[in-house]
A and B are shown apart, each in its own frame.
Chain A
Amino acid sequence: MIDWILFYIGLALTLLGGVMDLIASIGFFRFKDFYMRLHAATIGAIGGGFYPLIGLALIALSLDLDIYIKAYISGVCVIAAALIALTAPAGSHILARATHRSGEVVPKVVVDRIKEDMDKGDGEQ
């Protein structure tokens, strides 16, 4: 019983990841701005990388295999998912910040707090 529940939760997460990847790829081509495209890419990293790996870990736990094989596969999946969840936001954060500070792309926003701070001289931290 618990195997079936785990299996279907894992399957749902994997399918959700596929849908997220599709949305991210459409957004990556349709959004106009660099920052909006970065947002779409992050959806692809977290939604399309993190969720399917957790789903695969659950599916591997639900299969009728030796406990060592199940623990190995799901452990690898969980570690990879944790690394993606840890590094992808930091990477996109520093990418957006560096782009803003270099002035390559001027964001089309109403309020720009980083620019205000940089004009005041606090942007150097």
Chain B
Amino acid sequence: MRRSKSFLAICLITAISIVLILAFLLNISGLTTYGVNELTGLAKLFVLNIPDPTKPWSSHAFEIVTAILWDQRGLDTYFETSVLFLAIVASVALLSYYGRRHVHEGTGDGYTTMIVKVVTKLVVPIIAVVSASIAIHGHLTPGGGFQGGSVFVVAPVLMLLAYGSRFLSSRGFNELRLLAIRALSVTLIFVVGLLPVLYLLTHGTAYLFQNTYKPDSAFTYPYLIPTPIGMILTAGSIMIYNILEFFAVAAGFTLAILLLTREFERGDKK
């Protein structure tokens, strides 16, 4: 069925007029300029306290979202990571049951070309470097461990689509190793969060997932490390959490996509 031109014109005019009316209503109601220069409530507490090293509740990190995720609500984020870990374990249990009987690993020769292989080879290192910088600078610029790990997963996806799953498996990206990296990273995150509690046993007050010193607790991770080229701001445990979370997310998603690609390459033949 061929749509008429008047129908398209009516649709276009309706869409444009809806947008214009909404913009007009937003403007006359004053919602677009409401409180743009003022901080209110909780936002004032976070924005004024977290990046300021002179305040007692500071996290010594400039990126407030990452600081809230790993310092102010670190235990919550740890359980989110654990939920993701359980999901990965469940999908491995489902998918690798068939894979262990007769592993079919394709080389991708049937459906890729030389153009795609060359471009993939050029782009994959760039993706890896960008994802590592997103994770390591997580306490300074927008980003963090989860975001960096998610960006890194694009590289294995490209490799799997261009070269097939045998290419990655023959270079050390096998199931057990990826699952081990994932489990080790999640465990280490919890150990880093648990260290203040061990301090509490001998020295007085400390909190689970504590980052830097608090008014009633002297425990602190080193947040300014002196080096020969100057001071390096690591924001206490936030940088450690970001790097560990980067490895956890990258390994977990790579594992899930590796198993799914094997299923895809196996096709319908049983």
Contact = CB atoms under 8 A, between A and B. Distances in A.
Contact of A87 (B110, B111, B119): B119
Contact of A98 (B111, B115, B122, B123): B111
Contact of B115 (A83, A90, A101): A90
A86 B112 contact: no
B113 to A, nearest CB: 7
Contacts of B115: 89-90, 93-94
Interface bin, chain A: 10 to 19
Interface string A103-120: 000000000000000000
Contacts, number: 25
Interface string A83-102: 10011011001100110010
Interface string B85-114: 000000000000000000000000111110
Nearest to A102: B111
B116 interface: yes
B123 A94 contact: no
A124 interface: yes
A16 to B, nearest CB: 25
Contact of A124 (B110, B119, B122): B110
B184 interface: no
A93 B111 contact: no
B113 A83 contact: no
Nearest to B127: A83
Tell which of A87, A94, A97 has the most Cβ of chain B within 10 Å: A94
A87 B111 CA distance: 18
Contact of B123 (A86, A97, A124): A86
Contacts of B123: 83, 86-87
Contacts of A93: 113, 115-116
A101 B111 contact: yes
Nearest to B8: A29
Contacts of B111: 98, 101
A125 B126 contact: no
A90 B110 contact: no
A94 to B, nearest CB: 5
Nearest to B126: A83
Contacts of A97: 113
Given A93-B116, A94-B112, 9 more contacts: A86-B123, A90-B115, A94-B113, A94-B115, A94-B116, A101-B111, A124-B109, A124-B110, A125-B113
9 contacts: A83-B123, A89-B115, A93-B116, A94-B112, A94-B115, A94-B116, A97-B113, A124-B109, A124-B110
Interface of B: 109-113, 115-116, 119, 122-123, 126
